[in-house]
Structure 1
């Protein structure tokens, strides 16, 4: 074997070994063990899944309460779990028209709501998921600053946009909704807030210095929910990483936000 061929084989072997070690760290292949502070929404966000599918596969009813130590399957019943199901994935984005990035300009108004699942000590009585107002979803910029990274569905760390700013600058809800996760359980995202806007859309606000809203809180579009920072392994400077997901799939936030002005 030539030197080049040997090097390629070695690289493939090392890559495979790294993948096995990573999946071992995730627990049994195709499953996730719920840790303290996690919600069904944060787990589905981590694995790029639709929270409704995750709930259906595990027989979880609204309001989607889960428990520390609970074992959740990451594939549909009857489908043999594979290694790919046991690791966080980058989902393919729905195609949307692109807009040019610019300086973010936050306003304030309204859109649609949701329900909050959280880890609990004992199972509660099931109740229907809270009604979502039937009105058009309206988006606003979540922070002021220059867009320094744009969306790319196939690239790790580019499932949303990055807005550069100053430490402590306000981070605002991009639309009306309910906070379904507020914590630091996803290391790459640091201090993270996830807001559910309706049955289809969720948004995420990462790398914050300080979180100002708790799970279950109803927030208005433009309401201050956090302070900008650089928490998490994915931040190389003070910035807001902002994502929108539709049916569990990342979509380009610039296709939803109003055109920015320099």
Structure 2
């Protein structure tokens, strides 16, 4: 082989390797649902967050965070506010604000609940209630809290398929601020139970909405993950529990 041929072959090989290194299919997307290893300190509120989403992030009971920080219903918080994460026996410490002069307008970036819809508000019962499946697909990953890898179940689906409320309640978070969850909805069913619906393509409800059991609240998507599916969680007093213990057999 001549010197020119060898040089040409080396140049071709170089461009081939360079193209492979920039191949989008070689990029791995990891789902990050592990809560930060935090036992004390504070969380600085970012725009779009709610007290419920912060409690979810750290696997904490929203009632404990509210009591510790002196936050009363409807649990309105503000960007720049420091939420104390130090565990307490439902203390009454007052949360600190990064800025003392916070405007009361939505345009200021205040984390504020959207007005509820005009329909009559559904008050979650404190009595036991029945759960139903939030999607029709097959369960492809089960609950595994022992190693912290999956705090719920993953249900396979197709893009755009309906996601339904597993029980009646109030939407307390609808957004995409929690890493690894994509477009996420968190619902409050009573003072003890919350549920979450992650990786949605579209969110069809907003914070403050009252939702009936079985009502369509979102569409299955792949936001924050690599394939269309619904990640579904149930929390009891802030702690993850196995949804299969509550959902009916099918």
Q: Same fold (TM over 0.5)?
A: yes
Q: Which whole-Å CA distance do the structure 2 matches of 1:52 and 1:150 have between them?
A: 28
For residues 218-259 of structure 1, the C-alpha deviation after alignment (integer angstroms, 9 at most, x for no partner) is 001110000000101xx2311000000000000000000000
Q: Which whole-Å CA distance do the structure 2 matches of 1:198 and 1:231 have between them?
A: 28
Aligned pairs for 1:57-72 (under 5 A) are: 57-72=68-83
User: What TM-score does the superposition give when structure 2 sets the normalisation length?
Assistant: 0.70
Secondary structure of 1:35 counterpart = coil
1:132 Cα deviation from its structure 2 partner: 4.1
Q: What is aligned with 1:181?
A: 173
- In the alignment, structure 1 residue 193 sits paired with structure 2 residue 185: yes
- In the alignment, structure 1 residue 31 sits paired with structure 2 residue 39: no
Shift in CA distance, 178/75, structure 1 to aligned 2, threshold 3 Å: same
- In the alignment, structure 1 residue 244 sits paired with structure 2 residue 234: yes
- In the alignment, structure 1 residue 255 sits paired with structure 2 residue 248: no
Q: What is aligned with 1:48?
A: 59
In structure 1, stretches of 5+ residues that fail to align are: 1-21, 79-117, 122-129
Q: Which whole-Å CA distance do the structure 2 matches of 1:119 and 1:251 have between them?
A: 28
1:141 Cα deviation from its structure 2 partner: 0.1
Q: What is aligned with 1:4?
A: none
Q: Is the 8 A contact 2:59 2:239 kept in 1?
A: yes
User: What TM-score does the superposition give when structure 1 sets the normalisation length?
Assistant: 0.67
1:120 Cα deviation from its structure 2 partner: 3.6
Q: What is aligned with 2:207?
A: 215
Q: Is the 8 A contact 2:135 2:163 kept in 1?
A: yes
Q: Is the 8 A contact 1:172 1:225 kept in 2?
A: yes
Shift in CA distance, 237/68, structure 1 to aligned 2, threshold 3 Å: same
User: Quick one: which of 171, 174, 187 aligns to 2:163?
Assistant: 171
Shift in CA distance, 74/147, structure 1 to aligned 2, threshold 3 Å: same
Secondary structure of 1:145 counterpart = coil
Q: Is the 8 A contact 1:208 1:240 kept in 2?
A: yes
Aligned pairs for 1:129-168 (under 5 A) are: 132-168=124-160
Secondary structure of 1:41 counterpart = helix
Secondary structure of 1:53 counterpart = helix
For residues 117-175 of structure 1, the C-alpha deviation after alignment (integer angstroms, 9 at most, x for no partner) is x8249xxxxxxxx9643443110000011100000112334100000010000000000
Q: Is the 8 A contact 1:68 1:120 kept in 2?
A: no
RMSD of equivalent CA atoms: 2.5
